[in-house]
Structure 1
């Protein structure tokens, strides 16, 4: 796997996975080929929509919300493909099931970690509201309280969330599983595994961007190299190069905060602090109120963005959980052999 000290090296340690999934000489019927092409073309279009129009979109909450929405749509696409393939669970190879169940647990863990960080960031909104209330007055006592709340906010925002830090290890294990089990004597299985590969690549990319944003570390970014024979390969490579490159530029600039809306709030806070500490005379009172209004607008925009992103992550969690539950129900109904103890323990983590 990619070494932490060498984040720019493309990750592709296992060779071309499609030597296993679609080996030379494999035949797909026109119907199966049409299903696969439709899936990959849709995936390419979703990735194309995610390409930022300009660098300011990268690590904005609106872009992250869009990324999560497209991820949800892609995971729904794989459910539709499974139905269209008419490939019942009883015909699934046991290794496919193991990979699916294991990956779904990892994705649920990532969702929980991301949700906890979004919630933590949103808690800072309460401190900003205290600042705004205390700035309604120009009394020295209120200024002291406002300064205390500002200090609390900055300390809160700069703290680290261990759950998000652990996302890196989970992502690394997901990358290792990109090397899918070999498919024998099943054209439908080959289509399914190739489609799942695309879903996993997109998922790892988005989750690694979120992990980098929330940890403040470019080392959490992942550079994946995919076979150029895939219909979505060129679009994905351009997207990954564009987004990861800009994120690394943001980190190298030494900014204390990298989320765009959070950075905007921090700019307002830095302008307010000196004025509050030095006191405000009547001439400066209007300037203080302008800064207060500016902080209020930016704080509300940050809170609204975090709320929308929370809904996106929750939706993704539900899609993964629903798909996992459906598979488990089908397994029980078909008496397919799997490890129920391990599955049940992981599902409730």
Structure 2
């Protein structure tokens, strides 16, 4: 998916668009479009601060976060439509920006999909464990113990694809300085909106990378990068502070992962493992049965959560891909349809 390696450079060395108030040279109609986008962005970000901090990094929260990114990127698509900027009028810098960002997002989303697939494959081992535990045979218990050991080793192993996320994240951070737009009020609106979308996307992707790599090394701090004058800035600061603090707290307790459902399964596996390995007395039988029951319950919750998250990650991938392909197709002379590169009507199937 990645393009050939090029020397690292910032595509946004053209100046900072935030040196002057956004509305100083914008007509009322365009200012209204930008205000609408930024208000919606604030609302989408605000939803990522749960009432209970223990919900952060649950798979349902991650589904909400990735779903919010999909909505933000749909909002950008809608804004481009409302601005009525023909692709032939796009500044070459804007196109360079859009294409470069999109290929990085595709790469990092592929890494996330790879990790979700790997974690979901562990469910087969858990199913094998639970199936063997239905028997009262000591021999089957020993086999279940072996399968459980394999699962514990698998979920603690590193995924090479996820390990490549940091350079991509660094590139996205470099790209947060937008090109200075001259002689195009519509272009200024587009660049301001894209800045907000990119900040949200870059930070949330760093949260996913930190969660999947079990390391805060991938967790970005963008507070100093985002100008406080932006209407959505305070909400973003709150999201980043709340989420990043909770992630660091979890790792400070020595946990091997911040994924809540995965931790729940691992906790019950840890209680069950010595009972399978060393055997248990009649007095421990109830504790054994309870552990098996809870392992089955939490394993199903983990599997369902991973499936649901995989779907929204795949949806985000399709949204980014369809936007990129539509732009490339419109740039080609004689292209019959902006979606012909995909071979299907992506506007109808993906972005409604």
TM-score by length of 1: 0.89
Partners of 2:14 and 2:41 lie apart in 1 by 23
Q: Which has the higher contact order (CA 8 A, sep 6+)?
A: 1
CA distance in 2, matches of 1:145, 1:274: 13
Residues 112-161 of structure 1: CA deviation (Å, up to 9, x unaligned):
00000000001110111111111112322111101100110011000001
User: Counterparts in 2 of 1:103-252, with a 5 A limit?
Assistant: 103-225=101-223, 226-252=226-252
Counterpart-to-counterpart distance in 2, 1:16 and 1:283: 72
1:287 aligns to what?
Answer: 287
Q: Is the 8 A contact 1:16 1:227 kept in 2?
A: no
Q: Deviations over 1:239-278 (max 9, x none)?
A: 1011011111111111122200000000000100111122
Structure 1 stretch displaced more, 323-332 or 281-290: 281-290
What is the CA–CA distance in structure 2 between the aligned matches of 1:310 and 1:268, rounded to whole Å? 24
| Worse-matched range after superposition: 251-260 or 97-106 | 251-260
Unaligned residue ranges in structure 1 (runs of 5+): 1-12, 336-349
Aligned to 1:324: 324
CA distance in 1 between counterparts of 2:14 and 2:86 reads 30
Contact 2:15–2:179 (CA under 8 A) maintained in structure 1: no
Is 1:50–2:44 an aligned residue pair?
Answer: no
Secondary structure at the residue paired with 1:254? Answer: coil
Say what the alpha-carbon RMSD is for the aligned residues. Answer: 1.9
Which position in structure 1 is the counterpart of 2:315? 315
Distance 2:126 2:57 in 1: 22
| Residues 266-277 of structure 1: pairs in structure 2 closer than 5 A | 266-277=266-277
Q: Which moved more, 1:54-63 or 1:206-215?
A: 54-63
Deviation at 1:14, TM superposition (A): 8.5
Aligned equivalents of 2:15, 2:55: Cα separation in 1: 33
Moved over 6 A (4+): 13-16
Alignment length (residue pairs):
322
Q: 2 CA distance for matches of 1:284 and 1:177?
A: 58
Report deviation, 1:25. 8.5
CA contact (8 A) 1:134 1:142 kept: yes
Query: Distance in 2 between the 1:283 and 1:50 partners?
Result: 46
Choose between structure 1 and 2: higher helix proportion.
1
Range 144-153 or range 219-228, more displaced:
219-228
